[in-house]
Chain A
Amino acid sequence: MAETDRELMLRLKAGEDEALNALVARYRDPVAHLLFRMVHEEALAEELAQEVFLRVYRARKSYKPAARFTTWLFRIATNVGLNALRDGRMRRARETSMEAALESGTQLAALADSAATAEQALLARERRDQIRRAIEELPEKQRLAVLFHKYQELDYAEIADILDCSESALKSLLFRAYQTLRVRLKPLLGGRG
C-alpha cells in the first residue's frame, strides 16, 4: 500500500531524504502544470516547480501533520508563481517564448504533411491562446480559483483553504469567473454562451 503524503513528509522530517523522491513523483505534474498555467512558459514553470520542492525540503523540519499536505504544497506553489509574476520573470520568459513560438510555428507550417494539418495545428494553438488570455485577464483570486477548480480538480474546502476564503465565497468567485469566461470565450463556444 502506497504511503500517504503525511507519512512521506514525516519520514522526510525525520531525515529520510529519499521520501522527497516519492512526493516529487506524485506531485511533479500537478505543481508544474499549475505554474505553467500561471506563468505560461514551460521552462520557467519547471524551474519554479523545482523551487516549490526545494521549499518543501527546506521547510521539512517545521512540517505539521495537522495541515493537509496538498494544501501546504499548493500554497507554496501559489506564492512562488505569484512572486514570479510580480518580479517580472514571466514577462522576460514570455518574450523568449514568443520568439520560440513564432519560430516553431514557422517550422510547424513548413514541416506539416499537408496544409490542412498545419492549419488545424495553428487553429488549435490560437484557441489555446484565447483561453489562456481569457483566464489571465481574470482578477487574481478568480483566476487562481479557476486553476485549482477546473485544472487541479481540488475540492471546495481545500481551494478555500489555499485561497484563505470561505467555501461560499469561493463558489461565488468561481461562478463569477465562469460567467466572465463565457462572455470572453463566446467565439469558441460554437455560438452558445
Chain B
Amino acid sequence: MNAHWKEEEFLEYLDRRSVPEAHARLEAHLAQCVDCRRELEDLRALGSVLDEWTPAPVSAGFEARLRARLVEEKPAPRGWPILRPALVMGLAAVAALAVAVMLWRSPEPDVVQVEPQTRAPGVPAPVAVAPQAPPTDEAATTAETEALALLDNPVLLNDYELLEEFDVLFELLEKENGKSL
C-alpha cells in the first residue's frame, strides 16, 4: 500500500489541482485505504456545509451610492478663480484711489510766473509758461466711468496688465504725496 495522503494532497485533490501523475497515484491509494477515504469524505461534507453560508445579494443602490461618494472625491473643475470678497473690496479701493488721483491732477488753469530779474542785454524776455491744458470735467467723468466699469467686470480685474496700470497709479500718487502708500 502507498503512503497515506499528505495534507496538501487532500486539498489539491478536492480542488482538482493535482497533477495527473499524482492524481493517479492518489486514486490507487484511495481504493485501498479506508482512513484516507474517510478523511476525504469528511472534507467534502464540510465543504457542502460551508456552502450554506451564503451572503445576501448586494443592494440595488450600491453603484449610485458609490458614484455619489466618487463625486465628493473629485476636485472642482478649474476655471477663472472666484474673486473673494476681500479681494473685490481691495480692488474697489484701488479704483477709487485711481479716480481720486485723476481728479486731483486736473487743477485750475494757471500761469507760472517767471521771477522778474535783471536781464542782460540781448537776452530775450521771459515767456509766461502755460501749463498743459487741464482735463475738463467731461474727461474726469469718463475716467471715473471707466474705472467703475472695471469693477463691474471681475474677469477684466483678473487681467494682469490692467492691474499693472493700477500700480502705475499708485506710483503717481506716491510721487504726488512724497511718501509711500
Question: Footprint of B on A, CB under 8 Å?
Answer: 17, 20-21, 24, 28-29, 32-33, 36-37, 42, 45-46, 49-50, 53-54, 57-58, 124, 127-128, 131-132, 135, 146, 150-151, 155-156, 168, 171-172, 174-175, 178, 181-182, 185, 188-190, 192-193
Tell me how far the C-beta of A28 lies from the nearest C-beta in chain B, rounded to whole angstroms. Answer: 6
> Distance (Å) between the CB of A188 and the closest chain B CB?
5
Closest to A124 in B: B52
Chain A residues positioned under 8 Å from B10 (CB to CB): 175
Contact A189 B59 (CB under 8 A): no
Asked if B53 CB lies within 8 Å of chain A CBs, one says: yes
Q: 23 pairs across A/B with beta carbons < 8 Å?
A: A36-B56, A37-B55, A45-B55, A50-B65, A50-B69, A54-B69, A57-B73, A58-B73, A124-B52, A127-B49, A128-B53, A131-B49, A135-B50, A135-B53, A156-B17, A172-B7, A172-B8, A178-B46, A181-B46, A181-B50, A189-B42, A190-B45, A193-B42
Chain A contact residues: over half helix, strand or loop, or mixed?
helix
Report chain B residues within 8 Å CB of A168: 8
A182→B47 CA distance, assembly (Å): 10
| CB of B87 closer than 8 Å to a CB of A | no
Shortest C-beta distance, B73 to chain A (Å), equals 6
Give the docked Cα–Cα distance between A20 and B71 (Å).
13
Measured CB to CB, the nearest residue on chain B to A168 is B8
Whole-angstrom CA separation of A85 from B63 in the bound complex: 24
Q: Are B58 and A46 in contact (CB under 8 A)?
A: yes
Q: A175-B11, A185-B49, A190-B45 are in contact. Are A53 and B66 (CB under 8 A)?
A: yes
B72 nearest in chain A by CB position: A54
Closest to B48 in A: A189
Check A32 against B58 for contact (C-beta < 8 Å): yes
Secondary structure class of chain B's binding surface, majority of residues = helix
Q: How far is the CA of A189 from the CA of B69 in the complex (A)?
A: 44
A37 to B54, CA, bound (A): 9
Complex interface: chain B residues within 8 A of A185 (CB) = 46, 49
Given A58-B73, A172-B7: A127 and B52 within 8 A (CB)? yes
Complex: chain A residue closest to B10, CB-CB = A175
| Contact pick for B45, options A36, A124, A189, CB 8 Å | A189
A155 to B16, CA, bound (A): 11
Residue of A46, A58, A175, A188 near B49 (CB, 8 A) is A188
B residues in contact with A32, CB < 8 Å: 55, 58, 62
* List of B residues within 8 angstroms of A174 by Cβ: 11
A131 & B62 in contact (Cβ 8 Å cutoff): no
State in angstroms the CA–CA spacing of A135 and B51 once bound together: 12
Among A20, A135, A172, A182: residue with most chain B CB under 10 A: A182
Residues of the A chain whose Cβ atoms lie less than 8 Å from the Cβ of B8: 168, 171-172, 175
The chain B residue with its CB closest to the CB of A181 is: B46
